[in-house]
Amino acid sequence: MTTQNRTENPDAEQPRGRSLPVTDVSLVVLIGSSGSGKSTFARRHFRPTEVVSSDFCRGLVADDENDQSASADAFDVLHYIVGKRLAAGRRTVVDATNVQAEARRQLIKIARDHDVLPIAVVLDVPEGVCAERNRTRPDRQLPAHVIPRQQRELRRSLRGLEREGFRKVHVLRGEAEIEAAEIRTEKRYNDLRHLTGPFDVVGDIHGCRSELETLLTTLGYQLARDERGRPVDAVHPEGRTAVFVGDLVDRGPDSPGVLRLVMGMVGAGHALCVPGNHENKLGRWMDGRKVTVAYGLQESIDQLAGETEEFRAEVRAFMRGLVSHYLLDEGRLVVCHAGLPEKYHGRNSGRVRSHALYGDTTGETDEYGLPVRYPWAEEYRGKALVVYGHTPVPTASFLNNTICLDTGCVFGGSLTALRYPEREVVSVPAEQEWYAPVRPMHTDAPGAREGRPLDLADVTGRRVVETAHHGRVSVREENAAAALEVMSRFALDPRLLAYLPPTMSPVATSRREGYLEHPEEAFAAYRSAGVREVVCEEKHMGSRAVVLLARDAAGLEKRFGVEGPGAIWTRTGRAFLTDGELTGAVLDRLRTAAERAGLFEELATDWLLLDAELMPWSLKAVELLRRQYAAVGAAAGSALPQVIAALEAGEARGLPLAGLTARQRQRAADAEAFVESYRRYCWPTEGLTGLRLAPFQVLAAEGANLATRPHDQHLAWIDRLVEADDQDAPVLRRTGRLLVDTADEASVAAGTAWWEELTAAGGEGMVVKPLASLVRGDGRLVQPGVKVRGREYLRIIYGPDYTEHLDRLRERSLGHKRSLALREYALGLEALDRLAAGEPLWRVHEAVFAVLALESEPVDPRL
């Protein structure tokens, strides 16, 4: 019944349409003779971008969709496009005749290569209908023998499509059935991204039912028992869901008890479960297949023999229905038994299932005769957290955004769970050693620390870093190369470099007479951005320093994998002080102050990350001072007095030199002011004597990015630190500050007066910041701070006589500097967010490295 007949005869009985389930990520192969309606079917049921047509590909390579001589090249193009789409996880429909086994074999291979399901949709239309449709096509006239040959090939193919490798075969016979068919998109069985948790992921249990009860109770679950007192369900009062990584059975004392509890939780919707290799083997044995009874299988066989046939049937059905792995929480969490590289997440194939159940091996065996497992987790760079088990480890720890939860309970270790999204590890000890391990319990792949945490591929070439607060930030290849040079030659251990401070933009150029920078532009800019409350902070006469402070060596080693008291580094990641003993002494003073101030307890942390200024400037820049600033001052001090004396002598003889003499006297005064300016930043130090550290922000603590907290909270913490320092010989210095209401003229005037007072006394100036710290205006980030430098300090930056060139200097361009400041600020926040979330080192370092790379962008260094 054609569409036309259905329209003309509406009272005729309509065929009931078939619903064809098609997986959301799959390769759909349309099979049918020319004229069977494949292209029409594809247009009706799939998006245009999902369909790859052989005719279209002929047109691409030959400018003629009917040029059969171009078919070989056209199918090369078709296969290439199909491969690219499947690699990206896109459902793809191939619109070609595909009646020949060889054509289908190539497509099935592409599907397998990309671990997606191949699905066949056959349009079986009578030969006469196909021939008639081709006769009415003005753009194509096929030889008479083509359609009969295709029909014969189609008939030979129909019975063997599943044997060829198609996971689903839908055969539509006749025009009416094709017309009435509907495509129903199915989610993959492993796609549970709509479930967002919270979850409690439980490691390998191996029949340790009592320990499982203890762990679930510790996690807050309430056990339900049957009439015989056996646990058959567990419910969390807060609605949390348990997820089991497999290996429920074998070796331990009560595999049936574990199965009864887990099956009850899964059946009631309180848990999810993926299979382990031990479930896979036990299931095959229960199905009557031949397996080697070893590695604890006999214990499960003997224990199940004491159960009812009904229970054993339930166990068989349960294990047959287990899915190799699950994607959860919008794809941010992957749970499987033996681990899974990112390219397999959400995919469906025997290869994926095998890796999820058994992992991958190197082909070698260790001294105990066991396979050496390939260390996939050391190379993992995926965004999803992969939680797995399978290989016993002494303790569960994160490695490159993966974590192994098999802590060897059955071997006398512990039973472990991961609370997600909290990333909190919870363990209960084994009641005894239930099964002697073949080898001492240790990991042969991922260690307790990140094995190969960083790779050149993480930072080289052009890169784009996704940030939560500023979108995508691009890093040019040449800038990455420059940063790599600095980082690899001079920087501290990258495990310590959790943050690099961003550059800061100067205030908009002032038009006020005699000034290049003035606070009124800062207040006006924030007022126009809708920021009413700002804090003005004293700008110290030192150099920017980041301080990682450990409460004790164990705390630092636990989080960063490096022993020691902490570290102090510069804006480029170099050790600030070359003297290790002096660094230790500064950290010790700071640690003592933090302990007295109670900051470790208040923030529930064993470490703190601080942004600070270390003084004097000469402590870091002594060579710069000697070679550049002191040299200019010395040259001026030596030459100008002689020049002035000669000019004065000429004047005494009556020469008209008054103007020139006055000019040189002004130059001498400027040079003297220049020397006086940089001398304020230099004073002698010996050990801690003379050294000053002025923290102004607590950037991070365990599990927390504190940089987005209001600045008054930071300054209150800092004040407590300073007050807790040794007041007889202080090292810590308070940061002066003043709150300003940008909408209040009196408050703005007070802020301006405070800046004038600071700079008149020789101070560098101040930094104006939104009190709320992180602020957005019109959907975009607002500058986190602008520096307003004093007139005399700018003499150091622009030269002794810069005030004579203000008109030219006012043409300086600030746009690039402002853009750079925002991008680096967003990257810094991103690094701290990733650090707080416990993400792997390479993810934190990606953002940190990008900050250093952006520093290579060309910008006026005086800004």
- Average pLDDT for residues 510-514, to the nearest whole number? 88
pLDDT tens-digit map of 170-183 = 999 999 999 999 99
d(CA 487, CA 492): 8
DSSP letter, residue 384: S
**Which residues are within 8 A (CB) of 193 and not within 5 positions of it... i.e. 6 or more apart?**
327, 328, 329, 330, 331
Residue 594 has pLDDT above 90, yes or no: yes
Residue 369 has pLDDT above 70, yes or no: no
d(CA 519, CA 503): 19
Of the candidates 542, 550, 500, 855, the residue with the CA atom closest to the CA atom of residue 702: 550
**pLDDT value of residue 605:** 94
Residue 14 has pLDDT above 50, yes or no: no
* pLDDT tier at 332, thresholds 50, 70, 90: very high
| CA dihedral (438, 440, 441, 447) positive or negative | negative
- What share of the chain has pLDDT > 90, as a percent? 63
What are the tokens at 852?
Answer: 């250093």
**pLDDT value of residue 367:** 63
pTM: 0.72
* pLDDT tier at 682, thresholds 50, 70, 90: confident
Residues 429 and 414: beta-carbon distance below 8 Å: yes
* pLDDT tier at 5, thresholds 50, 70, 90: very low
* pLDDT tier at 340, thresholds 50, 70, 90: very high
d(CA 577, CA 583): 6
pLDDT tens-digit map of 753-785 = 999 999 888 888 999 999 998 998 777 899 999
List the single range of 253-257, 375-379, 660-664 with lowest mean pLDDT. 660-664
Q: Which three-class secondary structure state does DSSP give residue 321?
A: coil
Residue 112 has pLDDT above 80, yes or no: yes
**pLDDT value of residue 362:** 65
Of the candidates 308, 327, 324, the residue with the CA atom closest to the CA atom of residue 316: 308
- Average pLDDT for residues 462-478, to the nearest whole number? 90
- Average pLDDT for residues 638-654, to the nearest whole number? 77
* pLDDT tier at 591, thresholds 50, 70, 90: very high
Buried b (16+ CB within 10 A) or exposed e, 151-181: bebbeebeeebeeebbbbbbebeebbbbbbb
**pLDDT value of residue 168:** 94
Better pLDDT: 379 or 613: 613
Better pLDDT: 637 or 447: 637
Residue 639 has pLDDT above 80, yes or no: no
pLDDT tens-digit map of 181-193 = 999 999 999 999 9
Residues 274 and 328: beta-carbon distance below 8 Å: no
Max distance between CA atoms of the chain, in angstroms, equals 126
**pLDDT value of residue 216:** 97
Better pLDDT: 534 or 373: 534
**pLDDT value of residue 812:** 83
Residues written for the chain: 863
For the chain, the average pLDDT equals 88
Of the candidates 281, 273, 83, 314, the residue with the CA atom closest to the CA atom of residue 190: 273
Angle in degrees, 0-180, between the axes of helices 519-528 and 745-760, rounded to the nearest 10: 150
CA angle, 380 then 383 then 387, to 5°: 65
**pLDDT value of residue 8:** 36
**pLDDT value of residue 113:** 95
* pLDDT tier at 625, thresholds 50, 70, 90: low
Residue 307 has pLDDT above 60, yes or no: yes
List the single range of 253-262, 621-630, 849-858 with lowest mean pLDDT. 621-630
pLDDT tens-digit map of 779-825 = 789 999 999 998 888 887 887 777 787 888 888 888 889 999 999 99
* pLDDT tier at 832, thresholds 50, 70, 90: very high
pLDDT tens-digit map of 129-146 = 998 888 877 766 677 788
pLDDT tens-digit map of 76-94 = 999 999 999 999 999 999 9
pLDDT tens-digit map of 705-719 = 999 999 999 999 999
Better pLDDT: 133 or 741: 741
**pLDDT value of residue 453:** 60
**pLDDT value of residue 823:** 93
Partnered with residue 534 across adjacent β-strands are: 740, 770
**pLDDT value of residue 257:** 96
φ, ψ (nearest 5 deg) of residue 689: -70, 125
**pLDDT value of residue 1:** 29
**pLDDT value of residue 624:** 61
List the single range of 334-343, 524-533, 599-608, 643-652 with lowest mean pLDDT. 643-652
Better pLDDT: 622 or 481: 481
- Residue 282 parent element (H or E): helix 277-286
- Average pLDDT for residues 561-570, to the nearest whole number? 89
- What share of the chain has pLDDT > 70, as a percent? 92
- Average pLDDT for residues 63-86, to the nearest whole number? 91
Residue 250 has pLDDT above 60, yes or no: yes
**pLDDT value of residue 615:** 85
d(CA 445, CA 47): 44
**pLDDT value of residue 745:** 94
